[in-house]
Amino acid sequence: MREPVVGLVVADHQQAFAEGLGIILDGHDDLAVLGVAHDTRQAIQLATDHRPAVLLLDANLPGGGPVKTPAAVRAASPATRVLLLAAQVRHPAIAAAIASAADGLVTKDVSSQQVVAAIHAAVTGRRVIVMGSDPLKLGRDAGVVQLATLSDREREVLGMLATGWSTPRIARDWQVAESTVRSHVQNLLGKLDLHCKLEAAAFAWEHGVVTAASTTLGSATVPRMHSG
């Protein structure tokens, strides 16, 4: 049976970019571009009129912002998933938007096929982070955005892994099944695009999730974690 067509709205302040991306995406049999906007008012109006499955939203779209505009779109069309489009991730509100209002981020240096994959992932309810082929160019800023996708529990697990806690030890301390801890580990590895707990520990230290200091709670040593 044929997959349902995914309705899209593309909103970007650069008219040629928005229209070009719209043409490319509309060329896919399973995607339909319902409208193209160039400011926040137009984006919200198109979301209200068409109720798209996904809105590709320029993080620098005039008249709103990466936090306020997704919230306004969600109010107008609750089922719409919002993916931010950004030329780079140094916009100070992007991490806040990913943590609260938006459903993901796609940088503008990725391929059209990566954009399509991000759209399909977003439709399934996943939080999506797709960045360009040169992660070194994004550096620490990319890590800040990725960390914003973690739940509080996943962030806590990340800090514990960084200070040498094993899965059984975390499970005992939390009084939960080891499978629950393993699920948190797999989720955070996926969100951070990492492959193993050793990489996760290195990421945590590199991005300041934990510090060299620690605090003692009962008989356990718990990492002191940054909130930012």
- The string of DSSP codes covering 138-169 is HHHHHHHHHHTTS-HHHHHHHHHHHTT--HHH
Tell me if the domain spanning 152-225 has CATH number 1.10.1380.10. no
Residues 68-92: pLDDT tens digits? Answer: 888 899 899 999 999 999 887 665 6
Calpha distance 132→136 (Å, rounded):
10
pTM: 0.64
Residues 141-185: pLDDT tens digits? Answer: 566 667 777 888 888 898 888 888 889 999 999 999 999 999 999
Domain boundaries, the chain: 6-147, 152-225
Query: CA nearest 165: which of 214, 223, 207?
Result: 223
Helix (H) or strand (E) holding 16: helix 15-26
Question: Please, are residues 72 and 46 in contact by the beta-carbon 8 Å criterion?
Answer: no
Q: 220: Cβ–Cβ under 8 A, 6 or more apart, which residues? A: 173
What CATH number labels 6-147? 3.40.50.2300
